[in-house]
Structure formats: C-alpha cells, structure tokens
Structure 1
Amino acid sequence: MDYSKLPKTEAVPEASSMIETFRAIGYNLETAVADIVDNSISAGAKNVYIDRIWEGGNTIITIKDDGCGMSSDEIVEAMRPGSHNPLETRAANDLGRFGLGMKTASFSQCRKLTVISKKAGYHSAYWTWDLDYVALTHKWELIRWTPDEYADAIDNQKSGTMIIWTDLDRVIPPSTSVSDIAAKQKFSDAWARVKSHIAMTFHRFIESNVISIYWGENIIDAWNPFCLSEKKTQIFPSESLYFGSQKAEVKGYVLPHKNNFSSEENYRKAEGMYGYPAAQGFYIYRGKRLLLAGSWLNLFRKEDHYKLVRISIDLPNTLDSEWQIDIKKSTATPPISCREQLRSYALDVRNKGMEVYRHRGKILKKKAGANFQPLWLEKKKGNKWSFVVNRENQLIKNLQEEAKTNPVPAINKLLRIIEESIPTPTIFIKQSSEENLQKEPFSDMDISLIKEMLCRMYDNLIASGQVSEQAKAVLKTIEPFNNYEDLIEEL
C-alpha cells in the first residue's frame, strides 16, 4: 500500500482518559510493587529497599535501589508510556516487555509517581507524573517536583533510583486520618501480603545472591515453593517443551506429608500466603522471576488430595508471546501445542502426590516372605465402591478371640481402632473422583439381619418397661434403624 497518497489525520489519545484506562489494568498492591522491583533488577541493582511511611491518607510508599540509575533525559524516556516495543528482541535478563510496567503499576495505586535517579558521574534528577495535573491540562506532561523530604534521598549513592508513590487513592482513601486504627490495620495487612509476594516472586534471585531486598531495615528471606531443604521432598526428572528452536523446562515436586516435615513451623511456612490447597499447581518462571504461582492452567481442578503437588515451568523471555504473558506479568496461557504434554507430565506427579496424601507420608513396602495386612479394604460390587474392615487382619482375629471371654473390653478396643484408622484421605479422593459410584450404606445388607437386630432391641426396650409405641419411637431415632421405619412398624 502506498501510504503517501492517502489522507491522514492525528488521533492522539486524550491524556487523562488514557491514564485512567492504565489504572484499570488490574494490579493489586503486591503485583504493583513487584513490577517496580523488576526494574531495579533489570538496572543491575544489588540491593532494593522497600518502605512506607504511615500518614493516613498521605501515606507514602518508596522503592529504592542501587542500580545503574538514569540521567534526566533517560528518566523522561522511562516514564513515557510504551517506551519499549514488545516485539523487539530483549536481553535474556530483561524482565520487561511492553514499556508500561512502571507506569501502569504505579498509576494503579497512586496519583503521583515520582522518579528520582542518579547515574554515575551525574547529579540526581527527578520527574513526576501527577494525574491531577494531567486531568487539569489534558496534556502528556511531567512536572519537575518531588516531596521535599526526598529531594536528596539518593545524593549519597554512586548511582541508583527511587520510586515514590504519593496520593495512594487506590490503597487508602484520601480522607483517612493518621489516627484511624482500623484503616492502619487494613493497610498493614495488605503491606504484609506484599512482603510475602516479594519473598515468593523473587526467591531465585535472593537464593542465588543476585540481589538483597530489604523490608524497611530487615532483609527479606526467600520463600521457595518447592521445599528443597526438606529431605523427603520428591523431585521428578525435568522434561523439555519445544517451540521451534526455543524450549521450556518442566520439573515436578511432591512435598512431604505433614508427618514427614522437619518441623511444624516449616510445614506452616511451606503453605504460603493462601494455604496448601491454593498453592498446588504450576509455577511459571521467566528466567529467575516467578510470573504465576499455583495454577493448573485449566488442565485440572484444584482438589485437596493434590495439595502437595507443585510443578515449575521455566520459560525464556522469547516465549512471552506464545504463552500470552500479560502486562502485569501475573497470567500466562500455555500454547495448544504443549498442553497434552504438560497434562501427561502433571498426571504422573499428581498421582504420586495423591499417594503421599492418601498414606499420610508412609511408604508401604512388602517384606520378604510377609504380606502387608491392611486394616481396611476397598470393595467393589458391580460398579459401586465401598471400604470394609479386613476380617483377615490378625488384629481383628485376635479381638474376635478375646470377645469370646471378655466381650466388652474387646468391643471397646475394636471401636477405638476403627475410629482411629478410618481411611479418610482415600475415601475423600474416591468421593471427589467417583462420587456417583459410592455404594449406599446398607444397600446390600441382608434384611433378615436388620430384622433380627430390631427385634432384639425392641424386646429389650419392652422388657425395660416401655410400651410398644414408645419402643418403636426410640428405634426410629437410632441410626441406621431410622432408615427402616416400615420394618419398625411391623414389630
């Protein structure tokens, strides 16, 4: 097409409307802060300092680093929306893509974004996006302003950058008083989630000593979802997913059962921000950066008996488009070409995870010349399943013998053993996967046995002085006889 011959006109986006659109992209506080830390890592920072000053509606959040820094002109370029083309080839350690992260992450939380930066050999410089000013002027203009207390915040550094968020209208209502205890607690809870998210998202950077991230004055410890320090974590061989000349790596992990964790504290720590059921699934990384945590990517449902299963997927940033990595770096969709391979690999890991959950971490091995005697057996009749006590178990046989001479203690022992050993995890798994095939209680029980027990209890009640109607009323309140009212009426 010969564009030179066609009429043209500008269609420049209206500044205030476009920025308000950026604000609606869908960050929360923790993903927004993580996006700023991405920039620090891309700038070669060795230390990042995340802080906040509670002042009610005037609360301030800052993220400072000691990276390479920027000159005044480079700050302006970095603050221009869409400063990078997502189709351009990027360095392997580049955590950005769209050139929107710092702006959209910041706008989603605050109305004033200030960037102070200093490049080695330069004086520090600063510029601010003020959304109120943009709304007033309808212009894409930065203002040279910074909160007074931060004007010289990085002057003593060789290089580095500080991001300052003020007017945090999406985090704290502007009218909030500094003495509002409830609002302060709500903000503190949200701020604590940021710390947990940072510990998880950048755990590989922290573990490999690429960077230290500080929470106020305290260093953030890495949270590794795969519990590699636990001796009984089961690690699966990795598998490659190929996309032309590019490839991704998949690796499965099954965490130990609670009974086999090194300590109760470590078991609780391993559950993460939202608990074990939520933490199961795939963990997608781009380089060392975690993008998506605990999702089965629509390949499976989250079910309690797979809660110990976690699978890493490592992607190069050259596969962003194929995996549909979004601006927030918090969602991903596997290409159709690899979904079946992913599903097949995950099935093996999930099956092992289910076994660990079912047997409470115990590994059952047959010894030479001996057969394992389970207390419960799974029974199949037609297509219906149920669980029954194993009458051939030697413990049950011993109690049967004891009952001949000492029935009450023997029965009490049997009841206690049944109470303590009901295979709840296995039953739960069967109910989840084959709910409609569970045998109804007493559905195949000999009706004459029910009648015999009813008659004996009825006679005992009559012998105790109750009249017939009273005895029948009592029997109707006793499980399982409450399901046999017609038989009771025949007594």
Structure 2
Amino acid sequence: MTDDWQFDVPTIGTKHLPPDSRYMEALSSQGYGFETAIADLVDNSIDAGARDVVIHFLRDEDRLVSLLVIDDGKGMTEEELDVAMTVGGRRGYDPQSLGMFGTGLKSASLSHAAAVTVVSKTRRTRAVGRRWLMERAVSGYQCDIVAGDYAQSLIDRYSGRPITWQGTVIRWDGVKDFPRHGGGGQTNRYLLRTINRLGLQLGLYLHRFLALDDFNITIAVEDVNTGTEYMNFGVEPLDPFAYPVSGHPDHPRQFTVDCPSIPRMSLEAHIWPAKSTLDGFKAVGTGLDRQGFYFYRNNRLVQAGGWNNFRQPEQHLALARVAVDLPSDTADVFRLTVKKEGVEVSPEFVSALEGAVDSEGRRFPGYVAEADAVYRDSRKRASTTRRAVIGPGKGFDPTLRETIEDELPLVPGEEPISVRWQKLDNGVFFEIDREERTIVLNQHYRTALLGGRRGGLNDAPTVKALVYLLLHQVFEKEYSGSREKDNLQLWQSILVAAARVELERMGDDD
C-alpha cells in the first residue's frame, strides 16, 4: 500500500458537470457584511491602478435608490468585462494584485443588491456595460448587455469626478440594506451610521494605500433630483500601529519565523501605550478583538486581530499587536478567506512561533509576556489612585464596559451592575433595584433619547455611562444617607427635565 492509497480509485472516464444556475444563490449567500463587500469592490479599483475612488449614495428625497463605486482606473474592454462578470472568471492576476478567486465582484454585490451593473471604458475603447439581475442569473446565468448609449452616459456623469479618460462604474440597485421607508429621518440616520462604519472599515483595511499621496477614497451622498450633495468627505487612514510613543521602550521588535514549507518570514511586534483613546487603537472592536495578529497581503490588511490558535485572547493582552506581511507563496501555511477578512493558519506556523526570535535571541513568547506586564502595570497604577468600584454588566455596551474596567479598579468578587428599560411613572427617570443590582431606566423616554432609532440591549451608551457614573456608588454602600438621598432626588429632577425636552423636540406631548 502506497502513501497515496486514498487516491487509488479506478475510473472509466470523465463527465462535464457545469454548476446549476442556483449556484448564483449560494454565491450571494457568503455572509459578506456591507462594509466588507464595498471594500472588495475598492480592491478591484486598486488593482486597476485607480488613484481616486468615489463611493456614491444616490437618494430621491427621503428614499435611497442606488449605490455606486466609481474609479479612474485603466478600465476594461468588452472582452475583459465579460471575464470580470463571469463567475470564477479567470484572468491573469498579478502577484501584487488584491483579487484572487474571480468571485468577489459578483458575490459581494449580489449579497447586497438585486442587480449589479458594471460599466467601463479604456482610453482606446468605447464604454461597455454588463448587468447581473439576480432573478435572471439564477434561471440560467443570463447576463444582460447594457445599451451603449447608457453606458457612455454613466461614464459621462462622473467625468472629472473621478473619471477622466478611462474608468469603471459599479452600480447597485435594489440594495437590501437600504431603509424601506425614509420618513422620520430614517434615511439620514442610516447614512450617518453606515458611512461612519464604512469609513472606519476602509480606513483600517486599506490604511497603507490611503497613506499614499496619490490615492484617495471619497464617500458622497447626492439627491438625484436637485444634484445637491449632502455629504462629501475623504476616508482617512486608520493605522492600527500609529501610536505616538510605544508602550514599551524595547518595542517594536522584529522576530524571525522559520516555517519549513515557506521562506523565512518576519513579524513586527508592537505594544500600544496603555489607555490610549486614539481611533487607531479603539476603533477595532473590544480589547479581546483587537489584540494579536494583523495580517497583510500585498499591503492590504486581511485580518485585524486574533491569535489564530497560538493562544486564547485575554484582557491582559489588549496592548499586543503583531504586523505580519504574508509571503507571495503561502503554500498551505496561510489560507485567506474569500471575503479577505480572516486568515487560517496551519499548525506549522503556530509551532514555529514558539521558536521565533529577534536579533538579540529573545523569543516571541517573551514579547507576549512583556505586553501582559505593561497592561498589568497600568492597572496597578490606577488602583493606587482611584477607588475600586462595582463594574458594569448586562445592558452596557462591551466597549463601554471595557473602558470603565480599564479606567477604574474593580471590587473583586462582586456581581456587576446591570441596566434595563422598564415602564415607570413619568415623573422619574430611573429607579434603583438593590437586590437585583440593577439600574432601571424609564421606558417612556427611551425613543426620545435614542433619537427615534430602534433600541437594543446595549443601546444609549452615553446615557447609560452617565447614569452609571452617578449611581454606581449607591450599590457600593449598605444604605444611603440624607446627603446621598438628596443627590438622588437632584439627579432625578434634572434628568426628567432633560428627557422631557427631548420629547418636546420630537413633537410629543408629555
């Protein structure tokens, strides 16, 4: 029996089995998040040599109608466009390109839109276009040919912003994420929330490109009836390693990793300063999310945090970040996910990390211990100057809980303080349940305080943070004296008055 016995199966020929047209449905169900999908489209723009990319939300008064991604890259001929719109279409990927699998444009787009139209023009060819309409795609891979005059009109619409002689426009219609009804300020709230998340995602994952002088991403919102632009701003790079001063004088340090299957590679290990409030540190989830490895492929961030089975995340390692530039030949040591938001690593790499050393022979596990010590030391300094508190629990956003726990030492062994909404008398803003260790907020004022947004378990973080700071001491004492009771009444009166003002601004009668 040979080593490859498992492949020793007798066969009598082959048969061509093309994918069923329903494969398009599977392709559009890859779990692309909205921001991740847009980032995948921008990757294509970068591969096309674009210097300017515009992400354009089009609205008709209160209703969002389309989303477009426009670039001034080299454009595509009709033959190249057909390949780009073919599922799994194979083109000659440059070793430095960001595309890999030939599915990103289609999968990312049809995950979020009922139709995706791509129009493109090179310097020497006319404007051409193709459209995938989901309902036609699943019935037989029928891709629409866009009329030439419309293709040219779409190119002309963005002439000079950013298209000059060449470029590509991707248009999404029937976007699933758009509010169905724009009244009551829903569209404005959606845009503010979505554009903020999108700017952070693009700023982080493409920060090395955005740091260049000749590459820009702009997010804009336009009313199709009036041509008025409501928003227009550039995406700023969000460098996860851009601290002003290192948290440890010996860092950053380079570690060399020897994996038998790939050429020798290096890691750059960083320790952030404790309690940083910079966006580059805070914008990447919680402390458990943002520690660990930051993998780059061709200068594009493809994983932001995580230890990839090297160890379990823990709060004490919140300051540890390691930059890893993946080699061009990854063999089977590293496997990039289709959505380019995670890397699977083999046990070979995890094992090699134990033996990774820097130029002075110091081992990589020692770096992890140093990052742990920096965090613990910062906590000790806080505990000597600030009074221990009972921490926040259920109902507080995880990032808010983490920040409070970073800033204030916790009383050991105590159940945390929860917060929840409940119907109360309109004359009170909060009640205190000592037995359940819970702050109860008045449901009557919830909608006004949320600005009309739908609530959730961890909603209203600003209000909850302020209430926690006012009330946590109540749970740390066995009873409230006359002074504390007077303070509670004072806070109650002021908060009720403020909440009623919010209600009046919404046009409600109290």
TM-score by structure 1 length? 0.65
Q: By how many angstroms is 1:149 displaced?
A: 7.1
State the match for 1:441 in structure 2.
none
State the match for 1:237 in structure 2.
253
Listed as ranges, the matches of 1:358-437 within 5 Å are 358-360=376-378, 419=387
Q: By how many angstroms is 1:308 displaced?
A: 1.1
Secondary structure of the 1:59 match is strand
Residues 1:33 and 2:38 aligned together:
yes
Letter in 1 for 2:333: E
The partner residue of 1:222 within 226, 237, 243 is: 237
Instruction: Quote the Cα distance in structure 2 between the aligned partners of 1:214 and 1:186.
Output: 18
Instruction: Quote the Cα distance in structure 1 between the aligned partners of 2:388 and 2:63.
Output: 55
Residues 1:272 and 2:272 aligned together:
no
State the match for 1:254 in structure 2.
271
Structure 1 unpaired stretches of 5+: 364-374, 377-416, 433-476, 479-491
Q: By how many angstroms is 1:152 displaced?
A: 2.8
Report which of the two has the higher share of helix: 1
Secondary structure of the 1:208 match is coil
Per-residue CA deviations over 1:234-283 (Å, capped at 9, x if unaligned) read 5332123344453432111101123xx5xxxx535521142444211111
Q: By how many angstroms is 1:221 displaced?
A: 1.3
State the match for 1:355 in structure 2.
373
Residues 1:117 and 2:120 aligned together:
yes
Letter in 2 for 1:348: G
Residues 1:91 and 2:108 aligned together:
no
State the match for 1:107 in structure 2.
110
State the match for 2:133 in structure 1.
130
Q: By how many angstroms is 1:72 displaced?
A: 1.7
Letter in 2 for 1:11: L
Structure 2 unpaired stretches of 5+: 1-6, 221-231, 356-362, 390-404, 414-476, 479-510
Identity %, equivalent residues: 23
Q: By how many angstroms is 1:98 displaced?
A: 0.8
Q: Does structure 2 retain, via aligned residues, the 8 Å contact 1:284–1:312?
A: yes
Letter in 1 for 2:241: F
Per-residue CA deviations over 1:55-106 (Å, capped at 9, x if unaligned) read 5665311111111111122111111111127xx8x53311111111111111
Q: By how many angstroms is 1:361 displaced?
A: 8.6
State the match for 2:145 in structure 1.
143
Q: Does structure 2 retain, via aligned residues, the 8 Å contact 1:323–1:334?
A: yes
Instruction: Quote the Cα distance in structure 1 between the aligned partners of 2:331 and 2:45.
Output: 20
**Taking structure 1 as reference, are residues 84 and 320 closer, same or farther at Cα in structure 2, changes over 3 Å only?**
farther
Q: Does structure 2 retain, via aligned residues, the 8 Å contact 1:117–1:154?
A: no
Runs of 4+ deviating beyond 6 Å: none
Per-residue CA deviations over 1:137-184 (Å, capped at 9, x if unaligned) read 534333315699736335562111111111112x136xx123253365
Letter in 1 for 2:143: E
The partner residue of 1:59 within 61, 65, 68 is: 65
**Taking structure 1 as reference, are residues 193 and 343 closer, same or farther at Cα in structure 2, changes over 3 Å only?**
farther
**Taking structure 1 as reference, are residues 157 and 336 closer, same or farther at Cα in structure 2, changes over 3 Å only?**
same
Q: By how many angstroms is 1:285 displaced?
A: 0.6
State the match for 1:159 in structure 2.
166
Instruction: Quote the Cα distance in structure 1 between the aligned partners of 2:178 and 2:273.
Output: 40
**Taking structure 1 as reference, are residues 203 and 54 closer, same or farther at Cα in structure 2, changes over 3 Å only?**
same
Instruction: Quote the Cα distance in structure 2 between the aligned partners of 1:346 and 1:24.
Output: 39
TM-score by structure 2 length? 0.63
Q: Does structure 2 retain, via aligned residues, the 8 Å contact 1:33–1:105?
A: yes
Q: Does structure 2 retain, via aligned residues, the 8 Å contact 1:113–1:128?
A: yes
Instruction: Quote the Cα distance in structure 2 between the aligned partners of 1:11 and 1:239.
Output: 48
**Taking structure 1 as reference, are residues 418 and 49 closer, same or farther at Cα in structure 2, changes over 3 Å only?**
closer
Instruction: Quote the Cα distance in structure 1 between the aligned partners of 2:331 and 2:341.
Output: 12
Per-residue CA deviations over 1:420-463 (Å, capped at 9, x if unaligned) read 89xx98x989x99xxxxxxxxxxxxxxxxxxxxxxxxxxxxxxx
Secondary structure of the 1:239 match is strand
Instruction: Quote the Cα distance in structure 2 between the aligned partners of 1:189 and 1:180.
Output: 15
Letter in 2 for 1:354: D
Bigger CA drift: 154-163 or 216-225?
Answer: 154-163
Letter in 2 for 1:69: G
State the match for 2:359 in structure 1.
none
**Taking structure 1 as reference, are residues 150 and 31 closer, same or farther at Cα in structure 2, changes over 3 Å only?**
same
Instruction: Quote the Cα distance in structure 2 between the aligned partners of 1:153 and 1:320.
Output: 45
State the match for 2:326 in structure 1.
315
Instruction: Quote the Cα distance in structure 1 between the aligned partners of 2:53 and 2:173.
Output: 19
State the match for 1:458 in structure 2.
none
**Taking structure 1 as reference, are residues 428 and 107 closer, same or farther at Cα in structure 2, changes over 3 Å only?**
same
State the match for 1:447 in structure 2.
none
State the match for 2:445 in structure 1.
none
Q: By how many angstroms is 1:348 displaced?
A: 2.4
Secondary structure of the 2:345 match is coil
Instruction: Quote the Cα distance in structure 2 between the aligned partners of 1:45 and 1:233.
Output: 39
Instruction: Quote the Cα distance in structure 2 between the aligned partners of 1:59 and 1:83.
Output: 29
Q: Higher relative contact order at CA 8 Å, sep ≥6: structure 1 or structure 2?
A: 1
Aligned length: 365
Q: Does structure 1 retain, via aligned residues, the 8 Å contact 2:317–2:375?
A: yes
Q: By how many angstroms is 1:315 displaced?
A: 0.3
**Taking structure 1 as reference, are residues 144 and 200 closer, same or farther at Cα in structure 2, changes over 3 Å only?**
same
**Taking structure 1 as reference, are residues 102 and 247 closer, same or farther at Cα in structure 2, changes over 3 Å only?**
farther
Q: Does structure 2 retain, via aligned residues, the 8 Å contact 1:193–1:273?
A: no
Instruction: Quote the Cα distance in structure 1 between the aligned partners of 2:40 and 2:71.
Output: 13
Letter in 2 for 1:24: S
Q: By how many angstroms is 1:24 displaced?
A: 0.9
Q: Does structure 2 retain, via aligned residues, the 8 Å contact 1:84–1:97?
A: no
Letter in 2 for 1:140: Q
Residues 1:168 and 2:183 aligned together:
no
